[in-house]
A and B are shown apart, each in its own frame.
Chain A
Amino acid sequence: MDIVQILSIIVPATLVYAAPLILTALGGVFSERSGVVNIGLEGLMIIGAFTSVLFNLFFGQELGAAAPWLSLLAAMAAGALFSLIHAAAAISFRADQTVSGVAINMLALGATLFIVKLIYGKAQTDKIPEPFYKTKIPGLGDIPVLGKIFFSDVYYTSILAIALAFISWFILFKTPFGLRIRSVGEHPMAADTMGINVYKMRYIGVMISGLFGGLGGGVYASTIALDFTHSTISGQGFIALAALVFGKWHPIGALGAALFFGFAQSLSIIGSLLPLFKDIPNVYMLMAPYILTILALTGFIGRADAPKANGVPYIKGKR
């Protein structure tokens, strides 16, 4: 087995599992850069996965190939709407952001399962009729070696996730909007005296995390899970949160970390195909992403550069 062959197994599998993590972690970047801790990412992914699956089941047949894409739009809208609960609690009512995030996670799981049971009479939906399929990207897939590794057996959604990471970086660090988002997360009072509406910016930050979290969940459901149950999203939101911290609240950092965690998740699937990993029992492979997450967070992160006002509600006029 030569290196190109090994890579053309590892890379596509990594990209599959990384895409939802990248997207969700990017959402977390926007929320936390604006100063709102968001451990509700898991719940937002659940809402996204649920919405995209239902959308696909209801409209898939009629819409055909456009169905998965439209289901992602629906997932984003649902995520953004759901994140409003967290935004209102954390920003307007100054609730404890950790508690509010936990509530989001529990509410999302409870509500979606309840609805699924109402509709299907069991805790599991049917398989979606129109999932995404891996393809060879026209043009790029024909590049020798690199094309084979990166672009010949890949989901469009993975490419989209990576592109969005760079777009997020541009928005956060090159545009006035990004400067303002970051300013309210670092020193909201300074931003306020400069005429920036702190509450508005934070609402936007949290809602972007809803868009991205919903998208992440939708991508996971439409590429990997293909149906919705209580365990469709099982910790990916928290891994995305870890990727955000590991990536030091930076979109490109989060991208790198999410790719790493995506690789860890893909190990249990592709491990049996790889020379070194073949003999390791599969249970260890399933544990790998979680253990690597802990190791990464404790061992390598060093100084964490969280936005200074992250998690601190802003009260106008307080010194």
Chain B
Amino acid sequence: MEYVIEMLNIRKAFPGIVANDNINLQVKKGEIHALLGENGAGKSTLMNVLFGLYQPERGEIRVRGEKVHINSPNKANDLGIGMVHQHFMLVDTFTVAENIILGKEPKKFGRIDRKRAGQEVQDISDRYGLQIHPEAKAADISVGMQQRAEILKTLYRGADILIFDEPTAVLTPHEIKELMQIMKNLVKEGKSIILITHKLKEIMEICDRVTVIRKGKGIKTLDVRDTNQDELASLMVGREVSFKTEKRAAQPGAEVLAIDGITVKDTRGIETVRDLSLSVKAGEIVGIAGVDGNGQSELIEAVTGLRKTDSGTITLNGKQIQNLTPRKITESGIGHIPQDRHKHGLVLDFPIGENILLQSYYKKPYSALGVLHKGEMYKKARSLITEYDVRTPDEYTHARALSGGNQQKAIIGREIDRNPDLLIAAQPTRGLDVGAIEFVHKKLIEQRDAGKAVLLLSFELEEIMNLSDRIAVIFEGRIIASVNPQETTEQELGLLMAGSTQKEAGKANG
């Protein structure tokens, strides 16, 4: 069998860590080959070696059977290797077409031939079914279309080996489906694809073969047909992983959070939460299910004091807290794991130790008379880092340098340690690998079992079904149904989330 890419015995070390230790990767022509591994396993390093961003210390790379030396992304481009980056590389102020032709512009009398550029972009997009608007500004298009533009960038440069770096991390379920179709089209047209991911479902659904790496070492390459999710997960993590979260039946106690008829406007001034009521009791997890953009973010922001509540009341343990300052609200007993940990959860360029104290730095013993006691702060930070298994070189490392899973563990430690009566977890496992997901789920259930109220927001139906004791379905700013996860199915939830009434959904299901 002919391989388009062969990476043999690749070794790449950084100070203090061997990121790739004798890894082999062989990709056949016309296949979708998954590169599976936890965050920090060395997937990105290996791909950066292939893309010419890093030079390996040992090993050889063959492209279409020929030994090559790839010392820059330009060289990789010349060899027909293109990378679809996880963090999109688009210039916001440029049009889609400008982004695609940048660096390889069609010219006419010294100026950019925009007509030809637009035509060429349109031709490629038609051929592979990548629907885009060439003349739209990159900043104005949807995330899905931004990703299509990224793919077009590589195709425009004639790539026939495409590396996708965790492409589904930022996409909605619908966009993920579209992307999978696009990948199938690409393979049909003779392209080969390397898919970097830690999502097992995607591998089972779309890939032909999979190479698993763990802690910098190549573990195994398998045919997807001959394996299953459980095997892949244990290969990736190095131990048995349970997908079904173990938990006892809930024992709900007194009402902790009572939301009564609140209305909240979003940043554009549109009422996105309308007359919404919801109650969460001690000792239960209430999951909010819904399609993104139905008022979930605004609801969470209103409860945590980040957004103004226009009418209605929010009551925590019998005290009204709507429109109090975030600090007053957190102090009255709410812990918040925010949706976007980079924007609202952490100060990325602060040490992780200081990030862990962000909710309590102003209290004794961490500060007195307006002066911080760094010694006390870092002592506390160290104990939380150990307790919550945050893997970091030390407590002075900047939050930015940690993997997503470890960043999230630090946030969870910070919030849970304050012992809040209500824990709000918004998309707590977004972008995390299975090991970290398991940890987060365990912690949420622990809180519930300790008699705390937990409000969970997630777009992953599986997560909602597994964790929740009660599911509240949100649609256009209202809770339109409340269901018991034991008595419902993903299909019924899907219908409810699309706005069907509970009766209709139940009928369709039955």
Closest to B111 in A: A174
Q: Is A186 an interface residue (CB 8 A)?
A: yes
**Measured between alpha carbons, how far is A302 from B372 in the docked complex, in Å?**
39
Shortest beta-carbon distance from B118 to chain A in Å:
14
In the bound complex, CA of A175 to CA of B112 (Å):
5
Q: How many inter-chain residue pairs (CB < 8 Å) link A and B? A: 61
Interface 1/0 per residue, B77-120 and A, CB below 8 Å: 10000010101011111100011011111010011100000000
CB B148 to nearest CB in A, in angstroms, measures 16
Chain B residues in 8 Å Cβ range of A176: 105, 107, 112
Q: Identify which of A78-86, A91-99, A188-196, A223-231 touches chain B.
A: A188-196
- Point out the residues of chain B lying under 8 angstroms from A170, CB to CB: 111
B92 touches A308 (CB 8 A): yes
B325: Cβ under 8 A from any A Cβ: no
A304-319 CB mask vs B (1 if < 8 Å, else 0) is 0000100000000101
- A179–B98 CB distance below 8 A: yes
| Interface contact B102-A191, CB-CB below 8 Å | yes
Q: Is A187 an interface residue (CB 8 A)?
A: yes
B228 within 8 A of A: no
A189 to B98, CA, bound (A): 16
Are A195 and B110 within 8 A (Cβ)?
no
The CA-CA distance from A189 to B99 in the complex, in Å, is: 13
User: A242 vs B103: C-alpha distance in the bound complex, in angstroms?
Assistant: 32
Counting CB contacts under 8 A, is A183 at the interface?
Answer: yes
Annotate B54-94 by CB proximity to A: 1 below 8 A, 0 otherwise: 00000000000000000001100100000101010111111
B426 smallest CB distance to A (angstroms): 24
Interface assignment of B153: CB less than 8 Å from any CB of chain A: yes
Are B87 and A319 in touch, CB under 8 angstroms?
yes
CB of B219 within 8 Å of the partner chain = no
Beta-carbon contact of A195 and B77 below 8 Å: yes
Contacts A176-B105, A180-B102; is A189 near B112 (CB within 8 Å)? no
Contact check, B103 vs A196: say whether CB atoms are below 8 A apart: yes
Closest residue of chain A to B106 (Cβ to Cβ) is A176
Residues of A within 8 A of B93 (CB): 182, 186, 308
Given the known inter-chain contacts A194-B153, A196-B103, please indicate yes or no for A317 contacting B53, CB distance below 8 A.
Answer: yes
Contact at A187–B103, with CB atoms within 8 Å? no
Closest to B400 in A: A319
Which residues in A have their C-beta under 8 angstroms from that of B103?
180, 191, 194-196
Smallest Cβ-Cβ distance to B105: which chain A residue: A176
Bound-state CA distance A175–B90 (Å) is 19
Q: A186-B94, A187-B90, A189-B89 are in contact. Are A196 and B102 (CB under 8 A)?
A: yes
Are B77 and A187 interface neighbours, CB within 8 A?
A: no
Which residues of the partner chain B approach A175 to less than 8 Å between Cβ atoms?
Answer: 110-112
Taking CB atoms, residues of chain A closer than 8 Å to B94 are 179, 182-183, 186
- Contact (Cβ within 8 A) A193 B89: yes
Give CA–CA (A187, B91) in the complex, Å: 6
Given contacts A174-B111, A179-B112, contact A187 B105 (CB under 8 A): no
Q: Which of A127-184 contact B (CB under 8 A)?
A: 170, 174-176, 179-180, 182-183
Q: What string of 1s and 0s marks CB contacts (under 8 Å) between A49-62 and chain B?
A: 00000000000000
Nearest chain A residue, comparing its CB with the CB of B98? A179
Among B456-477, those with CB < 8 Å from A are: none
Are B92 and A186 neighbours in the complex by a CB distance under 8 Å?
Answer: yes
Complex contacts, A174 vs chain B, CB 8 Å: 111-112
B residues near A192, Cβ cutoff 8 Å? 73
Q: A196–B94 Cα gap in the complex (Å)?
A: 16
- Report the minimal beta-carbon distance from A34 to chain B, rounded to whole angstroms: 13
Q: Of all chain B residues, which has the CB nearest A184? A: B91
Which of B102, B107, B153 has the most chain A CB atoms closer than 10 A to its own CB? Answer: B102
CB closest residue in chain A, given B113: A176
Chain A residues contacting B112 (CB-CB under 8 Å) are 174-176, 179
CA–CA, A190 and B73, complex, Å:
12
Assembled-state Cα–Cα distance A182/B91 (Å)? 9
A317's closest neighbor in chain B, by CB?
B53
Cα A176 to Cα B111 in complex, Å, equals 7
Whether A186 and B91, one on each chain, are in contact in the complex, defined by CB atoms closer than 8 angstroms, is yes
> By CB atoms of chain A within 10 A, which of B89, B92, B107 has the most?
B89
State A182–B90 Cα separation when bound (angstroms): 12
Instruction: Kindly name the residue among A175, A176, A308 whose own CB sees the greatest number of chain B CB atoms within 10 A.
Output: A176
Docked complex Cα distance between A193 and B153 (Å): 10
Binary CB contact string for chain A from 112 to 126 against chain B (1 if under 8 A, 0 otherwise): 000000000000000
Cβ of A166 to closest chain B Cβ, rounded Å? 14
Decide if B74 touches A195 in the complex (CB within 8 Å): yes
Question: Which one of A183, A193, A195 lies within 8 Å of B83 (CB-CB)?
Answer: A193
Closest chain B residue to A305, Cβ basis: B93
Question: Residues of B contacting A319 with CB < 8 Å?
Answer: 87
Determine how close the nearest CB of chain A comes to the CB of B21; give it in whole angstroms.
21
Q: Which of B90, B104, B105, B107 contacts A190 (CB 8 A)?
A: B90
Residues of A near B101 (CB, < 8 A) are 179
Nearest CB in chain B: distance from A177 CB, A: 9
Taken together as a complex, chains A and B put the C-alpha atoms of A174 and B113 apart, in Å, by 9
Query: In the complex, A308→B85 CA distance in Å?
Result: 20
Distance in angstroms between the alpha carbons of A125 and B83 in the assembled complex: 60
Q: Is the CB of B110 within 8 A of A183?
A: no
**In the bound complex, do residue B85 and residue A193 qualify as a contact, i.e. CB atoms below 8 Å apart?**
yes
- Closest Cβ of chain B: how far from A317's Cβ, in Å? 6
CB distance from A172 to the nearest CB of B (A): 11
- Within 8 Å CB of A190, what residues of B? 89-91, 99, 102
Q: Which residues of A lie under 8 Å from residue B105 when comparing CB positions?
A: 176, 179
Residues from chain B with Cβ under 8 Å of A180 in the complex: 102-103
Chain B: minimal CB distance from A239 (Å): 27
Of chain B, the residue at the smallest CB distance from A174 is B111
Give every chain A residue within 8 A of B73 (Cβ-Cβ).
192-193, 195
Q: How far is the CA of A183 from the CA of B53 in the complex (A)?
A: 20
A195 vs B90: C-alpha distance in the bound complex, in angstroms? 14
- Select from chain A the residue with minimum beta-carbon distance to B44: A319
Residues of A close to B102: CB separation below 8 A = 179-180, 183, 190-191, 194, 196
Encode B205-220 as 1/0 by CB contact (under 8 A) with A: 0000000000000000
Contacts of A179 in B (CB 8 A): 94, 98, 101-102, 105, 112
Question: CA A195 – CA B71 in complex, angstroms?
Answer: 12
Interchain Cβ contacts under 8 Å between A and B, 6 examples: A179-B94, A180-B102, A183-B102, A190-B89, A194-B103, A194-B153
Besides A179-B112, A189-B89, A195-B73, 4 other A-B contacts (C-beta < 8 A): A174-B111, A179-B94, A180-B102, A193-B85
State the 3 A-B residue pairs at the shortest beta-carbon distance, nearest first.
A190-B89, A194-B103, A176-B105
